[in-house]
Amino acid sequence: AYKTLEAMRDLPTETKDGRHIRLAANVEFAHECENIKASGAEGVGLYRTEFFLLGEKKLPDEEAQTRHYTNLIKGCAPHEVVFRTLDAGGDKLPFEMLDEPESNPFLGWRGIRVSLSRPAIFKEQLRAILRASAAGSCGIMFPMISGVTEVIRVRELFEECKKELRDEGVPYGDDIRVGVMIEVPSAAMIADVLAEQVDFFSIGTNDLTQYTIAVDRVNARVARMFRPTHPGVIRLIDMTISAGERHGVPTSICGEMAGDITMLPLLIGLGAREVSVGVHMVPIIRYAIRHLHYWECKDVARQALQAHDSMTVRALSEALARRSY
């Protein structure tokens, strides 16, 4: 079976009836980059910058960040690297010691909220990503977006950074794609509004599941309730992808769900244009995509959207997966 996966590495990730699904890799650590090329992934769909930024005692400065991001982009060329800006808080490493611990960290000072309340630090990251973008293809996206005002503010800061760099005569790429993570239910519900501000959506099914069902993603006591196939979650995914389609904004799925071969029929059927998965999962996901028919996936998604409970949704997708692989 391993030989089969190897042989498939350079084949396109498209369904049997010809729908291309971009297959990208999720990356947390720079050393994983060596494996990206080998896996045949079409670039990085989610680079979680918090692991690099918070791995040191203090935040790396703009120069160090620029070097790091540039190396990533060069290592993945000609494919695109999508950088997600710092997602501190929640279960992530502490960004700075809070005077008082939060009683609900997942509902507190996390992700874009941290970045927007520390604009000087945020701008260093934006400038570093912009400077790195001169070296090749890259995108940028923002975690934990809950409303359009955040996106507008982020874009203002981004434009400010571009202007500064222009004034300083520092080059940056002019085709950098801008996207938002859809991982808070309110963002999914206003996806049509957000679509006017961005080039792409990336659905974080881990947080979207946590926040939709109100089930802590790291609490073992309620782990059984953590079901990305909950009809509430599926409807929000559908709303996001459909709103994106109406506005010409493609949707990627980058949560754990995308790396589950039994869930692929459902996600592809709902209209996902890209999946971004752990590097080690890339070959098996390619194999799976190449064994599916898009029209059958659409049928699964249509039925799933009528289903009443997560077990039924899961069973529909699993049945097609079993028939196909």
Nearer to ligand PEP, 89 or 136 (CB): 89
Minimum distance, C-beta of residue 110 to ligand PEP, in the bound complex (Å): 9
Residue 45 touching ligand PEP (CB under 6 A): no
Q: Cα(200)–Cα(249) distance, rounded to whole angstroms? A: 5
Residues 6+ apart with CB under 8 A from 225: 213, 215
The item of Mg ion, ligand PEP, none sharing an interface with residue 254, based on CB under 5 to 8 Å by kind, is ligand PEP
Nearer to ligand PEP, 161 or 270 (CB): 270
206 is an annotated ligand-binding site residue: yes
One-letter amino acid of 246? R
Minimum distance, C-beta of residue 7 to ligand PEP, in the bound complex (Å): 30
Q: Identify the residue whose tokens are 């930024």.
A: 53
Nearer to ligand PEP, 36 or 161 (CB): 36
183 is an annotated ligand-binding site residue: yes
Q: Cα(177)–Cα(105) distance, rounded to whole angstroms? A: 30
Q: Identify the residue whose tokens are 């400038």.
A: 127
48 is an annotated ligand-binding site residue: yes
Single out the residue of 48, 127, 230, 314 in contact with ligand PEP (rule: CB under 6 A). Answer: 48
Structure tokens at 141: 């996206």
217 is an annotated ligand-binding site residue: yes
The count of chain residues that interact with ligand PEP, using the rule CB under 6 A, is 10
Q: Identify the residue whose tokens are 């720079």.
A: 30
The item of Mg ion, ligand PEP, none sharing an interface with residue 48, based on CB under 5 to 8 Å by kind, is ligand PEP
Q: Which run of H or E residues covers position 165?
A: helix 148-168
Task: Name the β-bridge partners of 38.
Answer: none
DSSP state of 95: S
Minimum distance, C-beta of residue 267 to Mg ion, in the bound complex (Å): 17
By rule CB under 6 A, what string of x and - marks binding of each residue 75-104 to ligand PEP?
------------x-----------------
Q: Cα(296)–Cα(51) distance, rounded to whole angstroms? A: 39
Which of the stretches 59-67, 115-123, 204-212, 218-226 binds ligand PEP when contact is defined by CB under 6 A? 204-212
Structure tokens at 252: 């990627």
Q: Give the footprint of Mg ion on residues 173-202 (CB under 5 A).
A: 183
Residues marked active site are found at 254
Q: What are phi and psi of 309, to 5 degrees?
A: -145, 165
* Chain-centre distance for alpha carbon 99: 31
The item of ligand PEP, Mg ion, none sharing an interface with residue 205, based on CB under 5 to 8 Å by kind, is ligand PEP
Q: Cα(8)–Cα(11) distance, rounded to whole angstroms? A: 5
CA atoms 144, 236, 246, 269: torsion sign: positive
Contact (Cβ atoms closer than 8 angstroms) between residue 3 and residue 24: no
Residue 205 touching ligand PEP (CB under 6 A): yes
Residue 255 touching ligand PEP (CB under 6 A): yes
Binding site per annotation, positions: 48, 84, 183, 206-207, 217
Binding site per annotation, positions for phosphoenolpyruvate: 48, 84, 206-207, 217
Residues that bind ligand PEP (CB under 6 A): 46, 48, 87, 183, 204-207, 254-255
Residues that bind Mg ion (CB under 5 A): 183, 204, 207
